[in-house]
Structure 1
Amino acid sequence: MTALLEVIGLTKRFGGLVAVKDIDLSINAGEILGLIGPNGSGKSTVMKCIMGIERPNAGTVKIGGLDVAGWPTHRIARQGVGIVFQHARPLHRQTILEHIKLALLPDNLLMLATDHGVTRRAEEIAARVGLSPVVDRLPRTLPFADLRRLELAKAIARNPKVVLVDEPFAGLTSAEVADFSTLIDSFRAEGHAVLLVDHNVKGVAALVDRVLAMYLGERVAEGTAEEVMRNETVRRVYLGGKIETAARPEREGKNRTPLLDVRNLGVLYGKAIALDDVSMHVGEGEFVSVVGLNGAGKTTLFNAISGLVPHSGMINWRGEALAGRTAGAIARGGIVQCPETRELFGDMSVRENLDLGGQQLVKQEAATQLEWLFSLFPILMARQGQVARTLSGGEQQMLAIARALMMKPKLLVLDEPTLGLAPVILEQLSKAMETLRQTTDITVLLGEQNVTFALPHADRVYVIEHSRVVWEGDPARFAEEAGAGYL
């Protein structure tokens, strides 16, 4: 049987970066292939190369046996490829029905006088995806899920042989995920070949026939969802390696009123749900890890706590609501975030960055804190006259954490501190974290995808998935239950 979609040796470079390296995949009629991988793994680039949005440097892309690699997007679409984008870009002056009718129009300008059946067919498609009640409305008046339904409706209207679906469940509620799964499954039932791109196996497991896992542009595993979830390489990519836990001295404030209490937190980015009814707490002196794959909502949670994004729900700090406080006031009140992007002053020296962090301290207090930080991160003492942007990635991360600690926070919020770091730097960072955990009373809220870094430094663990907290417990129990449940 000739595959409807066959990709052989696909390679894409951006300058010196190899984003996709020698990828092979094939999808038959009536089959769904899940393409998974963390952010930066290359999966979206593969999809863009298939669709002609990016031009591959090497390899073939065959649609029904015809090589279309390097063709412009409109020619590939005419050959029978449709794409369902994660982010809708509708025409703002056209109604929902008009959008679907536009998708039904023929490509030939000489055939624009379409038959009267177009309206009826558009109404049928709207009904199929659940848009019948809103066909006369404009896109800006619709919730996020309906905009995603519109993208599916346009794909159905084009009736492509091959359907590419990008992150179909991002920003949706569990009920909406079930509806979308049914709609995507209908493509398979009608004999289309479907490529479903997502972050993790768990999100697509119930839908797909096979899974192809990527990491750093390369294929790392392929098989059924169960086989890929058990694959040691995939587990290492997502979990980071063997999971270990470590005991910690009991802290005096363990059972007191929580230092931080988050209840029913919700955050929207436009119409997309970034956090949905999230509740959690952090006790005084605790190390709490929030683990989840990229895009799960960890950074949004931390930004809400730090006063950087508007939110619904309640955030209490030391028994008082943070609502109405600015990000600066929250930081001065003791919640200090070390962001994923580090946000160092690149043209300033290491010492100048640290001095800025400690500017609110009196001179002797700042000197004592600096001395302690140089013992925690000795490399920073040797580098204190060096411009921050010339440091290695690992040294920059240490400086970002040290600058946050110069503020003497009561709660240190660390967002993905291990992102992109080499194993030797991870080990140094891990030792510093354990020193903090074992020898100080500092409270830490850590967000990580790499659970082998997050668990040893945790008293409790939350798992966040698709904008919701789905698991809470101690690290030992997480270690027992990790694997397929996390992936």
Structure 2
Amino acid sequence: MRPTLEVRGLVKRFGGLTAVKNLTLDLHGGEILGLIGPNGSGKSTAMKAIMGIERPTAGTVRFQGEDIAGQPSHQIARRGFGMVFQHSRPLNRQTVLENIMVALLPDSLFKLFADHALIERAKWIAERVGLGAVMDRRPPTLPFADLRRLELAKAIARDPKVVLVDEPFAGLTLAEVATFSDLIRSFRDEGRAVLLVDHNVKSVAALVDRVLAMYLGEEIVTGRADEVMRNETVRRVYLGGAIETSARPETSFTDKVPLLQVLNLSVTYGKAQALQDVSIHVHQGEFVSIVGLNGAGKTTLFNAISGLLPYSGEIVRDGEPLRGMSPAKIARSGIVHCPETRELFGEMTVRENLDLGGQHLDDEARGRQLAWLFELFPILRERQGQMAQTLSGGEQQMLAIGRALMMQPKILVLDEPTLGLAPVILEQLSKALTRLRQTTSITVLLGEQNVTFALPHADRVYVLEHARIVWEGDPGRFAEEAGEGYL
């Protein structure tokens, strides 16, 4: 039987960056295909190129035998495509029912007065996705899960043959993920072809018929979910490779009260639950790794510790609550955050960026700190006069960590330092962390998806999954107990 959707040699470039390279896939009616891959692997771009939101650079997209590549998205939607966007975009002044009715109307909008059949159809769709009880409410009054349901309702309003779903599980509780999975399965059971992108690999794997794993814009492998999850390349992309550990037992840290305690921390973005009852502790001098896939909540946790987000629960450092302290005061007190986005000053030199980190030091102390830092990252000494924006990605990462270390942190918070870096740079970063661990009293809290980078430097590990801590232990036990279920 001919596939409903055939994608051949799909390419999407943005200037010199190729986000999708020669992607080929088939999607049949009554099938769910999952697109998985780490951040930046091209999943969402591929979906937008298929839907016409982004114009493909090359390749064909055949729907029921006809090439629709490059057509505008509204024309593709009219042909029989529905898309569930990651971010809800309802009409806030209209009711849920009216939002669905707008999705049902023809593009010309010549029907100014809704007829009885249109209203009944909109009501049926609302019931169909679980919005029957809130049809007369406006979107701002709805819980987050209902806003996601409204996106589903709008996507299926015009009975599409193909449904594209971008990040359906982001911000949902585990119970809500199960409900949404049932809804998406029902689309398949009605004979629709469903293409699904999500960071929550486990939820995708449990739901789909086949998985296509991507990395850096290219397909790694396509097959049954259990086969793809066992694929060596997929595991290396997500986990990084073989795991080696050199943990120090928790009993070797002598502080009676841990240096940093996070107690029952919860964070929401609007109505989306980003962290739920998260508790961790870190001892003086300990290296603790928080591992989890993209979207698990690592960055949210670090931003809350750094005072950048409101939260419920407690964050305590040396017995003192951090609540109410400004991010600047938290940083000056010794908790220094090196963010995933690096936040360098691109039009300033390497040395100027480093001097900003060390601005609180007198000239002699700053000189000593710089000399120590240049031993840790010799490339920064060579690049002192170079603009930060002209450095390679790996050099920029070293500069971001270097600037944080110039602040002489007591607790260094590193968020995804390995993201997008070449193996040779990973090795240099790894050696620098080993040296920090062996020669200084610094405490490190490291957030990483790449467990083979994180675990050799960890004394203890927490696994963050879907906004909650699901495992804690030493890295030696990780491979036995948590590693198999990490993906």
TM-score, normalised to structure 2, is 0.96
Shift in alpha-carbon separation, 1:283–1:483, aligned structure 2, 3 A: closer
The two structures, once aligned, show a CA RMSD in angstroms of 1.8
Q: What are the superposed Cα offsets for residues 189-223 of structure 1, whole Å, 9 maximum, x if unpaired?
A: 11111001112531211110100011111100111
Rounded to whole Å, the distance in 1 between the matches of 2:249 and 2:466 is 34
Letter in 2 for 1:477: R
Q: What are the superposed Cα offsets for residues 16-72 of structure 1, whole Å, 9 maximum, x if unpaired?
A: 221111111112111111111111111111111111111112222122222211111
Q: What are the superposed Cα offsets for residues 437-459 of structure 1, whole Å, 9 maximum, x if unpaired?
A: 12222100001111111110000
Q: How far 1:381 sits from its partner (Å)? A: 2.4
1:325 aligns with 2:328: no
Q: How far 1:248 sits from its partner (Å)? A: 4.4
Determine the structure 2 residue equivalent to 1:170: 170
Shift in alpha-carbon separation, 1:483–1:229, aligned structure 2, 3 A: farther
Q: How far 1:484 sits from its partner (Å)? A: 4.4
Letter in 2 for 1:321: P
Letter in 2 for 1:390: T
1:124 aligns with 2:124: yes
* Secondary structure in structure 1 of the residue aligned to 2:59: strand
Q: Which region of structure 1 is more displaced relative to structure 2, 451-460 or 294-303?
A: 294-303
Contact 1:275 1:297 in 2 (8 A): yes
- 4+ runs deviating over 3 angstroms: 106-115, 247-255, 481-484
* Secondary structure in structure 1 of the residue aligned to 2:21: strand
Contact 2:169 2:200 in 1 (8 A): no
Contact 2:33 2:194 in 1 (8 A): yes
Letter in 2 for 1:418: T
Determine the structure 2 residue equivalent to 1:198: 198
Q: What are the superposed Cα offsets for residues 319-374 of structure 1, whole Å, 9 maximum, x if unpaired?
A: 11111000011111110111112222233333332222122224433332222222
Q: Which region of structure 1 is more displaced relative to structure 2, 108-117 or 22-31?
A: 108-117
Contact 1:50 1:61 in 2 (8 A): yes
Q: How far 1:252 sits from its partner (Å)? A: 5.6
Q: How far 1:111 sits from its partner (Å)? A: 6.2
Contact 1:334 1:409 in 2 (8 A): yes
Determine the structure 1 residue equivalent to 2:386: 386
Q: Which region of structure 1 is more displaced relative to structure 2, 400-409 or 121-130?
A: 121-130
Determine the structure 2 residue equivalent to 1:10: 10
Rounded to whole Å, the distance in 2 between the matches of 1:114 and 1:91 is 17
Q: Count matched residues.
A: 487
Shift in alpha-carbon separation, 1:336–1:122, aligned structure 2, 3 A: same
Determine the structure 1 residue equivalent to 2:43: 43
Q: What are the superposed Cα offsets for residues 168-202 of structure 1, whole Å, 9 maximum, x if unpaired?
A: 10000111111111111110111111001112531
Determine the structure 2 residue equivalent to 1:85: 85
Letter in 2 for 1:466: H
TM-score, normalised to structure 1, is 0.96
Shift in alpha-carbon separation, 1:251–1:410, aligned structure 2, 3 A: farther
Rounded to whole Å, the distance in 2 between the matches of 1:150 and 1:67 is 30
Rounded to whole Å, the distance in 2 between the matches of 1:173 and 1:16 is 39
Alignment of 1:239-250 (within 5 A): 239-248=239-248
Letter in 2 for 1:361: L
* Secondary structure in structure 2 of the residue aligned to 1:455: helix
Rounded to whole Å, the distance in 1 between the matches of 2:363 and 2:16 is 47
Contact 1:265 1:278 in 2 (8 A): yes
Alignment of 1:274-285 (within 5 A): 274-285=274-285
Contact 2:434 2:457 in 1 (8 A): yes
Shift in alpha-carbon separation, 1:72–1:383, aligned structure 2, 3 A: closer
Alignment of 1:31-110 (within 5 A): 31-107=31-107
Shift in alpha-carbon separation, 1:28–1:386, aligned structure 2, 3 A: closer
Q: Where do 5+ consecutive residues of structure 2 fail to align?
A: none
Rounded to whole Å, the distance in 1 between the matches of 2:485 and 2:34 is 17
* Secondary structure in structure 1 of the residue aligned to 2:207: coil
Contact 1:229 1:484 in 2 (8 A): no
Determine the structure 1 residue equivalent to 2:425: 425
Rounded to whole Å, the distance in 1 between the matches of 2:251 and 2:277 is 30
Determine the structure 2 residue equivalent to 1:214: 214
Q: Where do 5+ consecutive residues of structure 1 fail to align?
A: none
Contact 1:229 1:483 in 2 (8 A): no
Q: How far 1:430 sits from its partner (Å)? A: 0.5
Alignment of 1:341-360 (within 5 A): 341-360=341-360
Rounded to whole Å, the distance in 2 between the matches of 1:21 and 1:349 is 35
Determine the structure 1 residue equivalent to 2:151: 151
Shift in alpha-carbon separation, 1:250–1:262, aligned structure 2, 3 A: closer
* Secondary structure in structure 2 of the residue aligned to 1:246: coil
Letter in 2 for 1:134: V
Contact 1:32 1:210 in 2 (8 A): yes
